[in-house]
Structure 1
């Protein structure tokens, strides 16, 4: 399948889709989240693109939902499915389900639904799914402490493409390499010609660096896992709790993630932590050490009575000596103790090793002076040593950890994807369980529903009365107001939509016709004007052509014009649909008049009204065959006749409805 073959995908959109690692495979598996991650593509458009790809793969022209009300029912059913998904990804994936006439697409979804219904619905798994989200690409990674070097123009271009995180420099010889080594913590020479060249600094020669990038840019791998760390842990928990096989070894992944900090650095390394803290705290520790030494000397001076003979004072003055000489002569021991305390503070505060303490000792000189001051060159030397050791250790730990994680990357992506797909399956499983669904048969020219319950009613599903109803061809459905005619139409529409999605339906059993279009016309809000009336007739004229592949549901079409004319019009429409072999149900309060106007024996079904109890209508929800149901006014007249001491008036009215009450 070419990307441009997908409906709604032009050249610009195809170019964006090619930014995905496997664009065709992404569309095939219905990964709406991946498509929506591309710049300029919204979630709604991504779902349309994926549905278009599905239609292209199944040679499906679309158009199954032929009316607004049919689309409303489909959207409502899809909404119920999406409400049972935990993750946003699963909601988006479910949006790729749609009713169709394509047998191959229906079979594909039916197989998926059967697998889904075998899943155990475990609340612990649903809890774990809450923290799973699609794998994200990390932001741009820039590494400034190392670079690549080459003397070859072609190698330079290849390295720039392969290592966007690093600076790539052109050098002519070993001298240029040495210059780079003085400016970067480490340099990787890409030319074999540099092998064996002695250069001061951290310089390695690796002509095959492109083949193992994690060795030289471990940050690339670490950034991916740091960005997706929480989702990977959650996905691992989903697999464990659900007891499903994971594409990678979970213990290995989780152990590696334990060593990775959220910012992509290495976690859990005490020595690296010590070095990092020492670098950060160096200036503060030295400043405090200065204060320690000066406070000690000040105290010693304040407590000491210093006596200087006149000849000694004269000698000091003649030699231009100052307080330092006086300290050296009179307070040498005290100064040594103060400097020792300062050095000890630096060593303890920074937790320095013996070799580092040797460098730190030079920060404060042995020559007495007051106030005591640091030697900046010694501080800089210690900082350089600590930074170098920190960076060396961090780089090594990063390389080691990236090496452990690099082989897990593909499996990690699959781990998250599998967890998200499990959420899709569980949403279908929950829908089927909560609405007592069963697989429907698609055969014949009519439908048969047993124990069907509409999930669209505004009552708890377990309070919905089951309905048995079947139609062979086109039938009229009669019944009192609020007796359940419209909800019966909704039930039929729901069953037809779900069956043509390839999903189970909310019934004990169901058979639906294999149709190409569902036409559901909702009740009109009042009489139509001439233009709208003419447009409606044109719609039904077009509908009658090729109607054998259509399911037609109409709610009180007679309200579009005057009752006398509407009965004749509906009768004519029924005749056309009947002749074309369509399947349909027309709800009408004029069933008797329509049947009388039709030129064939129209099937009339009725929702039987048992009566009124406490002002509430009591009906048998399942339509009865060959029953012209009584109207609500007739029931009220009958009730008044039974309650009246002089029922003559009411009995005369009942005769107007027909002696048999029909």
Structure 2
């Protein structure tokens, strides 16, 4: 997929996306988290880019949601899904689901959903998922104890680009390499011309370095695993608990991670730890050894009476002798013992026998008081220990990187599958909690008008517990007016119709026992207006209906009490005219209206009227059959109240009967 073919991805955005390892894959799979890693791309923008990429792949550029209320229903559906996800990744990924008008996209999601709803969202898996997050790229890496060396300017430029973690040095000859080796524990010479030369222990000639980047810079691979160590372990735990087949051996992976510190350094190696301890303890060990020698000498001097003949003292003074000479003459044996004690303490403390010879030279053989270290020898010892530690660490890093190299791609897959499981479990939880089923979608260009058929539908959008929602049956083919008492559930019913259609065209299960519908090209939902509109707003509303009836394609239109926008008489004529136009186009529509009879009279076509019937009043509360009755005008609340009074009030019985008769014959 070419980046700039995706709507909304121009040259600048394509440049931002190009820094990703595989931007084409991220767009193709709608990977919001990966897209959001690109510079200056927010998560919201990443979700839009991912959706646009999916639309481009399915040639699905039509906008299904045509009104604010339709978009609100979509957001409600999306929120219910996202609330059941554990990770941010899953919540972002779910944003790539949208009501599509193309069969290929709907079927793609349905295939994913069919697999998803088979997963059991147990509490242990949910808890394990809480520790999983997407793979992260390590922060900028810099390795200072190793460098790349070359005598060629073009190779120098290539090395700088391919080995950003290392210093790259330009040399003229082997002598320059030897000089360079004094400042680095390892020098990697990449020119074939240096092969076969005696360049020293810490100079390696590797003409194949450009093909062995992870071997030359194992820290790069180790940094990846160190940065993502907790994520990998959490993902491994999810696989074990959920019974997923892992893409690699989890024990091998965990064993490798056990040898890695969080900063990418090696742990668990006794030899490396021994060298590191020696370096860490060096200054303190030398200071303590100095005290051992000086305390021993001080005690010897205090206990010893030194007698010097006058002639000898005069001779020593004339020769410019210091106390050192006196020590050598009078306390030679004691000085030797003190120095030996200091050396023994230092060697035992450092515990690096192979460097004892250097450690012993830290303290001089020449008598002196106080005893002091030789700084140049200390520097040599520190350099030797540092080089030994770095060489050991480099070998261990290379060995571990070699083992981890085959686990790099499986590691990403391991985390990716755990995160994908969270997406699936969110869908599974949604389907289980709302008793969903997969809808049957008809009309693939055959011209058949199936409309919408719902059996046992229950809305999750109501402000009551879902289990307390009364299931409803409803079907509409063509155009219908939905009548019913106030608070009888008319708006909730068309909300449910729109909600189910949106979910179905997202490829998702729907909250009903059985649903069959056609694949619509657009959803238009005109919500109830809050009060009569002024002339300008009324004109704008009529224009929107003008655009609607002028459109093409299979459409579902839901309208809630259009009569509220103007006078009832005019509203009935307007609704009748709109229904006539929609009927000519074969659209499917449901108009909620209290003017059903008036519309039926004003219409030039046969208008189907469905009614949500009130069964009666019990303790002042309306009892309603929430499933509309086809072809029946619902009785109003006033009629029910008059009926109740006609049967219950003995004193005014005839009066209420006359009122009740007017409902049967309004003329």
For residues 188-217 of structure 1, give each alpha carbon's deviation from its aligned partner in whole angstroms, at most 9, with x where no partner exists: 221222111122351111111111112211
Whether 1:438 and 2:443 are equivalent positions in the alignment is: no
Name 1:359's counterpart in structure 2: 358
Query: CA 1:603/1:359 → structure 2, altered by over 3 Å: closer, same or farther?
Result: same
Pairing partner for 2:483 from 465, 478, 484: 478
Instruction: Return the offset for 1:552.
Output: 0.6
Counterpart CA distance in 2 for 1:375 and 1:173 is 35
Shift of 1:339: 3.2
Q: CA deviation at 1:313?
A: 4.9
* Range with bigger deviation, 76-85 or 15-24: 15-24
Over 3 Å counting, the alpha-carbon distance change for 1:325 and 1:640 in structure 2 is farther
**Structure 1 residue 529 corresponds to structure 2 residue 534:** yes
Q: Deviations over 1:277-324 (max 9, x none)?
A: 221221122122222333333344445555556566556545544433
Deviation of residue 536 (structure 1)?
Answer: 1.0
1:489 CA displacement = 0.9
Residues 267 and 647 from structure 1, CA distance in 2 versus in 1: closer, same or farther, beyond 3 angstroms? farther
Equivalent in the alignment of 1:577: 582
| Structure 1 SS opposite 2:610 | strand
Out of 434-443 and 194-203, give the one that drifted further.
194-203
Q: In 1, distance between residues paired with 2:398 and 2:642?
A: 90
State which drifts further: 376-385 or 295-304: 295-304
Kindly indicate whether the alpha-carbon contact (under 8 Å) linking 2:560 and 2:592 is maintained by their aligned counterparts in 1: yes
CA displacement at 1:19 relative to structure 2: 2.6
Between stretches 118-127 and 535-544, larger displacement belongs to: 118-127
The reply on whether 1:197 has 2:202 as its aligned counterpart is no
Superposed CA RMSD in Å reads: 2.3
Residue 376 in 1 paired to residue 375 in 2?
Answer: yes
Cα shift readout 1:366-424 (whole Å, capped 9, x = no counterpart):
43322221121221121111111111101111111111112221222222222211221
Distance (Å, rounded) in 1 between the aligned partners of 2:272 and 2:295: 33
Gaps of 5+ in 1: none
**1:598 maps to what in 2?**
603
Contact 2:274 2:352 survives alignment (8 Å): no
**Does 2:621 correspond to 1:622?**
no
Superposed displacement of residue 53, structure 1: 1.3
User: Structure 1 residues 26, 118: closer, same or farther in 2, change over 3 A?
Assistant: same
Say yes or no: does 1:346 pair with 2:346.
yes
How far did 1:537 drift? 1.1
Deviates more, 1:297-306 or 1:197-206: 297-306
SS at match of 1:183: coil
Taking structure 1 as reference, are residues 275 and 118 closer, same or farther at Cα in structure 2, changes over 3 Å only? same
Instruction: Tell me the secondary structure at the aligned position of residue 403 of structure 1.
Output: helix
Asked if 1:510 corresponds to 2:509, the answer is no
Once the two structures are TM-superposed, the CA of residue 525 in structure 1 deviates from its matched residue by: 0.7
CA contact (8 A) 1:188 1:205 kept: yes
SS in 2 for 1:584: strand
- Judge which range, 260-269 or 191-200, deviates more: 191-200
The answer as to whether partners of 1:640 and 1:650 remain within 8 angstroms in 2 is no
Distance 1:248 1:607, change over 3 A: same
Deviation at 1:218, TM superposition (A): 1.0
Q: Deviations over 1:446-488 (max 9, x none)?
A: 2111111111112221221111111121111112222111111
Measure how far apart 1:64 and its partner are.
Answer: 0.4
Distance 2:357 2:418 in 1: 55
What is the CA-CA distance between 1:636 and the residue it aligns to? 3.3
TM-score (normalizing by structure 2): 0.94
Contact 1:239 / 1:246 at 8 angstroms: preserved in 2?
A: yes
Instruction: Trace 1:150-229 onto structure 2 (pairs within 5 A).
Output: 150-229=150-229
Matched, 1:651 2:656: yes
Q: What is aligned with 1:75?
A: 75
Cα displacement string for residues 238-287 of structure 1 (whole angstroms, at most 9, x for unaligned residues): 22222222222222222111111110111111221221222122112212
Question: Following TM superposition, by how much is the alpha carbon of 1:491 offset from its aligned partner in structure 2, in angstroms?
Answer: 0.8
Tell me the SS of whatever aligns to 2:473: strand
Corresponding residue for residue 391 of structure 2: 392
Pick the aligned partner of 2:554 from 549, 552, 566.
Answer: 549
Tell me if the contact between 2:87 and 2:132 (Cα under 8 Å) persists in the aligned partners.
Answer: yes
Contact 2:639 2:663 in 1 (8 A): no
Shift of 1:236: 1.7
Relative to structure 1, is the Cα distance of residues 365 and 480 closer, same or farther in structure 2, using a 3 angstrom cutoff? same
Contact 2:98 2:506 in 1 (8 A): yes
SS in 2 for 1:188: strand
Matched, 1:450 2:449: no
Residues 478 and 629, structure 1, Cα contact 8 Å, conserved in 2: yes
Distance 1:483 1:16, change over 3 A: same
Look up the SS of the partner of 2:369 in the other structure: coil
1:45 is paired with a residue of what secondary structure?
helix
Q: Is the CA contact 1:181–1:201 (under 8 Å) kept in the aligned structure 2?
A: no
Moved more, 137-146 or 15-24: 15-24
Q: Deviations for 1:68-119, whole angstroms, at most 9, x for unmatched residues?
A: 0000001110111111111111111111110011011111111111111122
Counterpart position of 2:446: none
* Secondary structure of the corresponding residue to residue 658 of structure 1: helix
Structure-2 residue corresponding to 1:118? 118
- Aligned counterparts of 1:547 and 1:522: Cα–Cα separation in 2: 22
Return the alpha-carbon distance in structure 1 between the equivalents of residues 340 and 658 of structure 2: 119
Q: Secondary structure at the match of 1:585?
A: strand
Kindly report which structure 2 residues correspond to 1:40-439, keeping only aligned pairs within 5 A, or say none: 40-304=40-304, 306=306, 313=313, 316-317=316-317, 319-332=319-332, 334-350=334-350, 352-439=351-438
Moved over 6 A (4+): none
Q: Which moved more, 1:215-224 or 1:542-551?
A: 542-551
Is the Cα–Cα contact under 8 Å of residues 522 and 554 in structure 2 kept in the other structure?
Answer: yes
- Determine if contact 2:647/2:653 at 8 Å carries over to the other structure: no
Q: Which structure 2 segments of 5+ residues have no match?
A: 443-448
- Residue in structure 1 matched with residue 592 of structure 2 by the alignment: 587
After the TM superposition, which of the residue ranges 177-186 and 548-557 deviates more from structure 2?
177-186
